Amino acid sequence: DTGVSQNPRHKITKRGQNVTFRCDPISEHNRLYWYRQTLGQGPEFLTYFQNEAQLEKSRLLSDRFSAERPKGSFSTLEIQRTEQGDSAMYLCASSNSGGLTDTQYFGPGTRLTVL
């Protein structure tokens, strides 16, 4: 399977704990995006990388959130001191900025539940 993969698929944690999610993009894609989706809403943009560089961060990305893409391949999203309001589906997408349309392809998501 050469699509976007995310791990873990589900994470249950207690309030105040730290969690880390991983995303592996489609191999030839240089852009990687993180989105968050809550029930009844469309995905909301968090941040994106072009190669190793983090080019844009949403104001939704509080200082408890940090994302990295150290070698321009996989990325991690860490949430420190989780709160119940962080419960959501975290989606990763990738694209090729050199392609005709820069279309984004999504992974299956990581469902986070903060108790």
Q: Which of residues 29-48 bind other proteins (CB under 8 A)?
A: 31, 33, 35, 40-45, 48
Map residues 62-101 to x or -, x wherever contact with other proteins holds by CB under 8 A.
Answer: -----------------------------x-x-x-x--xx
Minimum CB distance to other proteins, residue 96 (Å): 11
Segment lying near other proteins (by CB under 8 A), choices 27-35, 61-69, 70-78, 80-88: 27-35
User: Which residue in this structure is represented by tokens 């090729």?
Assistant: 96
Rounded to whole angstroms, the Cα distance separating 78 from 58 reads 15
Residue 99 CB partners (closer than 8 Å, separation 6+): none
Cβ contact 84:110 at 8 Å: no
Cβ contact 49:32 at 8 Å: yes
Cβ contact 36:43 at 8 Å: yes
Minimum CB distance to other proteins, residue 104 (Å): 6
Cβ contact 35:46 at 8 Å: yes
Q: How many residues bind other proteins (CB under 8 A)?
A: 31
Residues that bind other proteins (CB under 8 A): 4, 6, 31, 33, 35, 40-45, 48, 50, 55-56, 58, 91, 93, 95, 97, 100-109, 111
